[in-house]
Amino acid sequence: MEPLRYQDVTLKAQLYDLLPIENKLRKMNARFAGVDVQTDTYFEVELGKLKWRQGTVESLITHYDRTERNGVETTTVYRYDLDPTEEDIYDLRREHRTIGEVHKTRQIFWVGTLKVHLDTLPTGEFFVEIEAIDRGKKVPHANLLEQAHALRVQLGIAKEDLVPTGYFDEDIED
């Protein structure tokens, strides 16, 4: 399985309130891309995670693996299909066993090339994710890392508040 020419650095922190971060993003003139009500369905695979996202803004099938180092996660992507067809979804369900589902509401912002998610889970928990994305693997990893941490600092998120990314852990879900 060959990875795509894609790389990113993802930072995630749990929040007690989304409003302070949202206000900072608006003051920075971040571009608001919308509110995405998402259902992520996870499927059994040998490596990483295979996910079908059904959202009101984003719909995709993606297969990826994340590696954590010093509180920062880097993603290796093997499949990234935006707006999958009914046939793609049928094949996915036929070929892979469903192992879990996650629901969330996500506000999506862009600060230059950085993507920021403000997520609310049905449990009432709040999270922020910062993604420094390079879809062509042309930007040095160190630059992506620097960009993500610079925005983290601008948003007032302490390094100690970072948590692992993702909302689904196949080791604890059935």
Q: Could you read off the pLDDT of 116-158 as tens digits, one per residue?
A: 999 999 999 999 999 999 988 899 989 999 999 999 999 999 9
List the one residue out of 112, 106, 113 whose CA is nearest residue 39: 106
Question: Is residue 56 assigned to a domain?
Answer: yes
Question: Is residue 80 assigned to a domain?
Answer: yes
pLDDT at site 50: 98
Alpha helices in the chain (DSSP H): 19-27, 86-95, 141-154
CB atoms within 10 A of CB 134: 18
Q: What gap in Å lies between CA 92 and CA 88, rounded to an integer? A: 6
Question: Is residue 84 assigned to a domain?
Answer: yes
pLDDT at site 173: 40
pTM of the model: 0.89
Q: What gap in Å lies between CA 158 and CA 52, rounded to an integer? A: 32
Q: Over pLDDT 70: what percentage of the chain?
A: 96
- The CATH code of the domain that includes 151 is 2.40.320.10
pLDDT at site 2: 85
Q: What are the residues whose beta carbons fall under 8 Å from the beta carbon of 68, sequence distance 6 or more?
A: 164
- Fill in the DSSP letter of residue 162: B
Of 109 and 66, the one with more pLDDT: 109
pLDDT at site 170: 52
pLDDT at site 165: 79
pLDDT at site 171: 43
Question: Is residue 2 assigned to a domain?
Answer: no
Question: Is residue 173 assigned to a domain?
Answer: no
Question: Is residue 171 assigned to a domain?
Answer: no
Our measurement of the distance from residue 124's CA atom to the centroid of its chain's CA atoms, rounded to an integer in Å, reads 19
Question: Is residue 166 assigned to a domain?
Answer: no
pLDDT at site 172: 36
Question: Is residue 113 assigned to a domain?
Answer: yes
Domain of 105, in residue numbers: 7-161
With a cut of 70, say whether residue 163 has pLDDT above it.
Answer: yes
Q: What is the mean pLDDT of the chain?
A: 92
Domain count, the chain: 1
Q: What is the mean pLDDT of residues 97-112?
A: 97
